[in-house]
Amino acid sequence: MFGRTIYQKIYRKIKQHDTIIIARHIGADPDALGSSLGLRDSIRKTFPHKHVYTVGCPTSKFRYMGGLDHVTEEMMEGALLIVTDTPDQKRVDGADATKFKDTIKIDHHPFIETFCKLEWIDDTASSASQMIIELINHTKLVMDQEIAGKLYMGLVSDTDRFLFQYTTPKTFRLVAKLIDDTGLDITSLYPNLYTRPLKEIKFQGFIANHLTVTEYGLAYIKITDEMVKEYGVDVATGGNLINYFNFIHEIIAWTILTEDKNNGVIRVSIRSRGPVINEAASKFGGGGHIYASGAKLANFEVGDQLIEALDEVCKQYQEETK
Ligand code: AMP
C-alpha cells in the first residue's frame, strides 16, 4: 500500500467489493445525506454491476435529497461498509461496523475514535460532501449534474451558505470546478433547501421572543412538548432553527433544548461564534465541532447543568478576549 494516496486506497477498496453499504450518522442532515447518497450514486454510475446501498432512517424533511434503500442483513453479507460524516461508532445509523470485514470512514468531525479499517479524517474540510467531491476528483469515480447537486446541497448546508469556519479557498475551488464540470444550476437547489412553512417562521419568532441571554452572552431556551404542539411543528424544528440565531450582538453562544417526549430525551443543539463548545457538550454525552455541537440529555435538570457549563465557557471566553 506504500505510496498510495488516500483517494487511491479508498478507490481500490471500492473496486474490490461487489456489494457496498454506505452509512451516515443518526439524525441525518443534508451533509450526511448528500455525502452518502452522492457517493452511492457515483459508485453506481462508475460500476453499474455493483450493488450499492445506503442505510439509515429516512427523514421526510430532506426527502428532496433522494431516496434511501431497503437493505436486509443478508444483503450486507461480505459487503464493504463506508461510513460518511460520522466520528464514532455509536452515531452510525443502521449498520454495525464490527460486523463488516472491510470498513472505511470518511469524516470531517474532530477525531473521536477509530472504528474502521481505513479512515480518512479531515477536520479542516467544510463538510463530508466536500471530501466526497475531492475523492471523486482524484479517482475514476463518475461525477455528473445529479451527483453534483446532492454534494453541493450537503456542502452549502454544512457551511451555512459559506458562512462557517472551514469554508476555505479549497472549498471555493472545489465548488467552482463542480459547477464548471457539470453545469450545475446552484440557484435551482435553494427552494428545496430554504423554503419553510409559515408555522416554522412563527416558531422562530417565538424562540426569539423567549430566549434568555446571560450577562456572558449565552442565549438559551427550553422548549417543552406543549410549545412544540402549540405551534404545530416537530421536535426537530428547534434544532433546525439554531443557525438563524447567528450574528446577534449580545449573543456569542446559543443553545436550543427541545423536549422529545416520544424518545424520553431532551434534544440539544449548540452553536458559537467564539467560545469552544464541543468540550462542554462531550461532558454531557454529546459532541460535535468546536462551534457547532449537539447532545441528547435525560431531562431539563441536566439541561440546566449544561447551560451552566456553557455559560462558564462564555465567561472564560469574555475574560480571555477582553
Ligand atoms: P446539530 O445541532 O444537531 O446540527 O448538531 C451539530 C453537530 O453536533 C453535528 O456535527 C453533530 O454531529 C453533533 N451532534 C449533534 N448531536 C450529537 C450527539 N447527541 N452526540 C454527539 N454529537 C452530536
In this structure, the residue with its CA closest to atom 16 of ligand 1 is: 294
Quote the ligand 1 centre to 268 CA distance (angstroms): 8
In this structure, the residue with its CA closest to atom 9 of ligand 1 is: 288
Question: According to the model, what pLDDT value does residue 67 have?
Answer: 83
Question: According to the model, what pLDDT value does residue 100 have?
Answer: 97
Taking only the tens place, the pLDDT of each residue in 108-129 is 999 999 999 999 999 999 999 9
Taking only the tens place, the pLDDT of each residue in 15-67 is 999 999 999 999 999 999 999 999 999 999 999 999 999 999 988 889 999 88
Look at residues 14, 90, 78, 26 and name the one whose alpha carbon lies nearest to residue 55.
26
Distance (Å, whole) CA 317 – CA 229? 36
Taking only the tens place, the pLDDT of each residue in 271-297 is 999 999 999 999 999 999 999 999 999
- CA dist 283 to 201, 255, 263, 268, 289, Å? 32, 15, 21, 13, 14
Question: According to the model, what pLDDT value does residue 78 have?
Answer: 94
Residue 242, pLDDT > 90, answer yes
Look at residues 30, 143, 9 and name the one whose alpha carbon lies nearest to residue 85.
30
Mean pLDDT value across residues 127-142: 98
Q: If DSSP codes are grouped into helix, strand and coil, which group holds residue 42?
A: helix
* Pairing label, strands 253-260, 265-272: antiparallel
The DSSP symbol for 79 reads P
Quote the ligand 1 centre to 143 CA distance (angstroms): 29
Look at residues 242, 292, 295 and name the one whose alpha carbon lies nearest to residue 265.
295
**271 CA closest ligand 1 atom index:** 2
- CA dist 56 to 26, 68, 81, 147, 150, Å? 7, 8, 13, 19, 17
Residue 133, pLDDT > 90, answer yes
Best residue among 293, 297, 310 to mutate for probing ligand 1, ranked by most atoms within 8 Å of CB: 293
Distance (Å, whole) CA 170 – CA 155? 12
Distance (Å, whole) CA 253 – CA 113? 27
**86 CA closest ligand 1 atom index:** 12
Residue 96, pLDDT > 80, answer yes
Q: If DSSP codes are grouped into helix, strand and coil, which group holds residue 184?
A: coil
What's at 312, amino acid-wise? E
Residue 30 near ligand 1, beta carbon < 6 Å: no
Quote the ligand 1 centre to 140 CA distance (angstroms): 33
In this prediction, residue 2 has a pLDDT band, given cuts at 50, 70 and 90, of low
Quote the ligand 1 centre to 292 CA distance (angstroms): 7
Q: If DSSP codes are grouped into helix, strand and coil, which group holds residue 253?
A: strand
**87 CA closest ligand 1 atom index:** 12
Residue 68, pLDDT > 90, answer no
Under 8 Å between Cβ of 132 and 38:
yes
Q: If DSSP codes are grouped into helix, strand and coil, which group holds residue 45?
A: helix
Quote the ligand 1 centre to 51 CA distance (angstroms): 30
Distance (Å, whole) CA 220 – CA 52? 42
Which residues are CB-neighbours of 163 under 8 A, at least 6 positions away?
Answer: 246
In this prediction, residue 165 has a pLDDT band, given cuts at 50, 70 and 90, of confident
Question: According to the model, what pLDDT value does residue 145 have?
Answer: 98
In this structure, the residue with its CA closest to atom 22 of ligand 1 is: 287
Q: What is the dihedral of CA 195, 199, 203, 208, to 10 degrees?
A: 60
Distance (Å, whole) CA 300 – CA 263? 14
Name the helix (H) or strand (E) containing 218. strand 218-223
Look at residues 248, 218, 222 and name the one whose alpha carbon lies nearest to residue 313.
218
122 class by beta-carbon count within 10 Å (0-12 exposed, 13-18 middle, 19+ buried):
middle
Residue 131 near ligand 1, beta carbon < 6 Å: no
Tell me the pLDDT of the chain averaged across its residues.
96
Give the range with max mean pLDDT: 1-15, 57-71, 155-169.
Answer: 155-169
Mean pLDDT value across residues 196-204: 97
Residue 87 near ligand 1, beta carbon < 6 Å: no
Question: According to the model, what pLDDT value does residue 58 have?
Answer: 87
Mean pLDDT value across residues 181-200: 97
Q: What is the pTM of this model?
A: 0.93
Residue 1, pLDDT > 60, answer no
Residue 236 near ligand 1, beta carbon < 6 Å: no
